[in-house]
């Protein structure tokens, strides 16, 4: 059942990515890095559709990766990459995309946000849409360049080709889109499974621990601390909660132990029992 859910969510994520590309970026000649950006730039020079180019390119990359790297990306990444090409083909041949906006700035910002959101959903299922991530692995293996720098090299190459194909202005908007997507993906991933980690310094640890364990059905850890000023021992309760549970706990502490000291911070991910499985 978990596998079916992961493939379903990957499908939704891929569909969202394709909407961002086909309805915002591609109609305006914005090549936002990756194989999709390369496909658009190549399409401006040679008469080959972006969907076909992406299919061929990803297929070749996956085969070469299996041979030389070991194919650690997994079957879900192959599924997502091939599905991206299939959905793009449908948009090109069955559901011709409309131009949502011809304003380059709006197309760049909103298209990138849509692409980043869809990509975050795919990444959250431990998959990817292939493309430059595989190229980066090749660069790392054969030239010993870190993967992050390899991704930058690949995307910069696409940007240069886009400048040649569409001109400096659209090429720079492609670079802007690449930067926006890269920054938003992590934020969206954190937002898909938002969790908060809390530290509570209190003299009423039994009261709060019982509430956490039995009322909001969450675990916690009790640490022993020592006051820097008072030099007295004190309990520190640590727990990881979702947003709704945190609000419930905060209200309980406010009503029953207002002397407690509470700190909270956002956590980008929580793995293990009660959260996302490894």
Per-residue tokens: 9: 């969510």
Residue written as token pair 């938002």 = 194
Report strand pairing: 261-267 vs 221-226. unpaired
- pLDDT for res 276: 66
> Do 162 and 227 form a contact (C-beta atoms < 8 A)?
no
Closest to 39 in 3D by CA, of 160, 158, 166, 130: 158
- Hey, which bits of 189-260 come out as E strands? 195-202, 221-226, 233-242
d(CA 204, CA 259): 9
What's the distance, CA 186 to chain centroid? 5
Closest to 16 in 3D by CA, of 74, 102, 87, 90: 87
d(CA 40, CA 128): 20
d(CA 273, CA 117): 26
d(CA 202, CA 246): 17
Q: How far apart, in Å, are the Cα atoms of 115 and each of 4, 110, 129, 258?
A: 23, 9, 11, 44
- pLDDT for res 141: 75
**Side-chain-facing half-sphere of 120: CA atoms under 13 Å:** 21
In the chain, count H helices and then E strands: 10, 4
Q: Tens of pLDDT along the chain (278 residues)?
A: 678 888 999 999 999 999 999 999 999 999 887 888 889 888 888 888 889 998 998 888 888 777 776 655 668 888 888 899 999 999 888 887 778 898 999 999 999 999 999 988 888 787 777 777 777 777 777 888 776 577 778 877 888 888 888 889 998 999 899 888 888 887 787 776 678 999 999 989 999 999 999 999 899 999 998 888 888 888 999 999 988 899 899 999 999 999 999 999 988 777 777 776 66
Per-residue tokens: 186: 């992590």
pTM recorded for the entire structure = 0.73
Q: What is the set of domains in the chain, with CATH numbers? A: 2-192 (no CATH), 195-267 (3.30.70.120)
């Amino acid at each position: 059942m978990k596998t079916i859910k992961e493939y379903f969510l990957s499908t939704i994520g891929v569909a969202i990515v394709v909407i961002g590309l086909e309805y915002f970026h591609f109609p305006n000649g914005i090549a936002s890095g990756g194989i999709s950006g390369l496909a658009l730039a190549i399409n401006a020079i040679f008469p080959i559709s972006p969907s076909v180019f992406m299919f061929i390119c990803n297929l070749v990359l996956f085969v070469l990766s299996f041979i030389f790297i070991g194919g650690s990306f997994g079957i879900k990444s192959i599924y997502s990459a091939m599905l991206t090409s299939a959905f793009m083909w449908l948009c090109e041949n069955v559901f011709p995309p409309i131009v949502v906006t011809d304003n380059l700035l709006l197309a760049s910002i909103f298209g990138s946000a849509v692409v980043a959101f869809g990509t975050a959903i795919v990444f959250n299922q431990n998959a990817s849409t292939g493309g430059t991530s595989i190229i980066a692995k090749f660069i790392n293996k054969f030239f010993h360049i870190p993967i992050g720098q390899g991704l930058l090299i690949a995307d910069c190459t696409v940007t240069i080709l886009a400048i040649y194909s569409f001109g400096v202005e659209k090429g720079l908007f492609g670079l802007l889109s690449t930067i926006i997507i890269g920054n938003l993906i992590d934020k969206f991933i954190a937002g898909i499974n938002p969790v908060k980690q809390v530290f509570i310094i209190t003299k009423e640890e039994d009261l709060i621990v019982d509430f956490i364990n039995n009322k909001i059905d969450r675990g916690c850890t009790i640490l022993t601390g020592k006051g820097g000023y008072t030099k007295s021992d004190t309990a520190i309760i640590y727990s990881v909660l979702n947003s709704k549970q945190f609000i419930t706990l905060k209200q309980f502490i406010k009503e029953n132990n207002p002397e407690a000291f509470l700190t909270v911070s956002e956590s980008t991910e929580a793995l293990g029992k009660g959260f996302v499985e490894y």
